[in-house]
Amino acid sequence: MSGALSGNVAVVTGASSGIGEATARALADAGATVALLARRRDRLESLAGERGGDTSVHEVDVSDPDAVRRAVEDVVARHGRLDVLVNNAGYGSMTPAAESDLAEWRTMVDVNVNGVLATTHAALAHLTEAARGERGIADVVTVSSVAGRKVAGPAVNVYAATKHAVGAFSEALRQELGSAHVRVGLVEPGLVRSELTEGQGAAQRAESEMELGLMEAEDIADAIVYMVTRPRRTAVNEMLVRPTEQTR
């Protein structure tokens, strides 16, 4: 397919639902060949079947670094290169600390922090190699959150900690990789309708309070595609995107 990303290969983690699924569609619409990573193979296969072309499916738990490395190597073996990494897979459990389960906290760290580290580590050499090619640029975009900029309420405890951590990591990477022409960006969504917010009841609560309502996953996908389709001289390093009426 022709488009700004024609000839480019993109990995999207958490592509089986919500923001990741919408981003995979939007990157494919922009011409990229997209590799879909997540645990729910059936959801990935149905998206790949719908998109056709060379879309590939990689069933992987991002908290397993060996499996992540194998999946990234499979992507490069199949498609020959890796130009864009979207670290999107995430998990959130918003429970006051005193009522929280330690295992839930550890899952958030494993997926939201260790998953981002494992995927980025596995992809780095391929991204820098792609940046030396004809496009002259490669991209890492990590999906953080408003909760990565500030702690807006008590129950976001560990979720906010994980998103602050990836924000710091992303800024350090940005400083390290600019000279290699690997752009590093962070997207910080406010409330988006997805399985994550529906599961927490947050979507329903917000909707009853907001006239305009939550964002859709496509709104964040648009932001990500904007970031990775800038001219190579321009890097959008951070984007905070909230529903118009979200106050915190």
Ligand X SMILES: NC(=O)c1ccc[n+]([C@@H]2O[C@H](COP(=O)([O-])OP(=O)(O)OC[C@H]3O[C@@H](n4cnc5c(N)ncnc54)[C@H](OP(=O)(O)O)[C@@H]3O)[C@@H](O)[C@H]2O)c1
Side-chain half-sphere exposure of 230, counting CA atoms within 13 A: 18
Residue pair 157/109 in contact by the 8 Å Cβ criterion: no
Site for ligand X in 150-209 (CB under 6 A): 189, 191-192, 194-197
Tell me the window of 2-10, 27-35, 39-47, 178-186 that interacts with ligand X (CB under 6 A). Answer: 39-47
88 touches ligand X by CB under 6 A: yes
Integer Cα distance of 126 and 235 in angstroms = 19
Task: State the virtual CA torsion across 114, 214, 153, 149 in degrees, nearest 10.
Answer: 50
Closest CB to ligand X among residues 39, 81:
39
For the sheet with 33-38, list strands across it. 56-59, 33-38, 9-13, 84-87, 138-143, 182-189, 238-241
**Shortest distance (Å) from residue 119 CB to ligand X:** 9
Catalytic residue among 72, 159, 214, 225: 159
Q: Which of 26, 90, 139, 225 binds ligand X (CB under 6 A)?
A: 90
Judged by CB under 6 A, the stretch of 28-36, 72-80, 87-95, 167-175 that binds ligand X is: 87-95
Per CB under 6 A, does 89 bind ligand X? yes
Instruction: Give whole-number Cα distances, 173 to 98, 116, 139, 163, 179, in Å.
Output: 35, 12, 11, 15, 11
159 in catalytic set: yes
Give the x-and-dash track for 51-80 against ligand X (CB under 6 A). Answer: ----------xxx-----------------
Mind telling me the catalytic residues? 159
